[in-house]
Amino acid sequence: MTLELKDITGGYTAVPVIKNVSISVAPGELTGLIGLNGAGKSTTIKHIIGLMTPFSGTVAIEEKKLKDDPEGYRKLFAFVPESPVLYEELTLREHIEVTAMAYGIPKKEAFQKADRYVKAFRLEEKMEWFPAYFSKGMKQKVMLVCAFMLDVPLYVIDEPFLGLDPLGIHTFLEIIQEKKAQGAAILMSTHVLSSAERECDNFVLLHEGEVKVAGTLNDLQTEMSMPDATLDELYIQLTKEGNQL
């Protein structure tokens, strides 16, 4: 299993925000992390990328844990946040260089890898631009280039659909298919359930900090006794007050 969260309980104060969260993502699989505002998606992601330490439970990427080898662990994944975080004083070219350095990739190889994604997101004329001149969507594309240029086993992508234009989304989904075919595991959090339903192999439905149901769409429909329901319908049902799953 590429990503394995076992019974993660954690939060910002003594009060847990996520409770006994278990998630597995296998190589070549795209898993959608679905939940309302405040459900605990970002908190779960923070535990995966090592920004938070769980009160209890374990997180492993390819069976490696952060505490055993922090530097090695960090090279196993690439994270794309919802709100792009770029260095204001660095150009796109320099962002690629810094990413290569952080992951220990020779510069030449990094540019060879990045080139395909720079072109795919139509940024080739903007290599010398600083982030101040980029639109929000362009900034997100820079983050995606810096993630996809890395051949890592796991990609963690927070809400990719809201900042990108339709062409950007199309390119993003094509790259995701390629990465899956190469054996990468992808965990993607999103509110865009129609896209998630079309694209994801598996789903984790998080509600009030707990995994309510997980699996393929078929698994979800069976477990919730809603055989023909869309992901949207399943999720609405799940979030209805008093629903006991």
Positions that interact with ligand ATP (CB under 6 A)? 12, 17, 35, 37-43
Least distance CB 42 / ligand ATP (angstroms): 3
Which of 72, 42, 53, 39 has the alpha carbon at shortest distance from 9? Answer: 53
Q: Residue 177 belongs to what H/E stretch?
A: helix 166-181
Rounded to an integer, what distance in angstroms lies between the CA atom of residue 204 and that of residue 202? 7
Least distance CB 39 / ligand ATP (angstroms): 4
Least distance CB 35 / ligand ATP (angstroms): 5
Least distance CB 77 / ligand ATP (angstroms): 18
Select 35 or 160, whichever has its Cβ closest to ligand ATP: 35
Select 21 or 164, whichever has its Cβ closest to ligand ATP: 21
Select 37 or 225, whichever has its Cβ closest to ligand ATP: 37
Least distance CB 191 / ligand ATP (angstroms): 6
Least distance CB 138 / ligand ATP (angstroms): 22
Rounded to an integer, what distance in angstroms lies between the CA atom of residue 9 and that of residue 101? 33
Select 43 or 171, whichever has its Cβ closest to ligand ATP: 43
Measure Cα distances from 16 to 46, 65, 169, 206, 241 in Å: 14, 21, 35, 14, 21
Distance of CA 28 to the CA centre of its chain: 14
- Longest Cα–Cα distance of the chain, Å, equals 57
Query: Tokens 């992951």, residue?
Result: 103
Instruction: Name the DSSP class of 142.
Output: H
Strand partners for 64:
61
Select 47 or 179, whichever has its Cβ closest to ligand ATP: 47
Neighbours of 43 (CB within 10 A): 21
Select 39 or 92, whichever has its Cβ closest to ligand ATP: 39
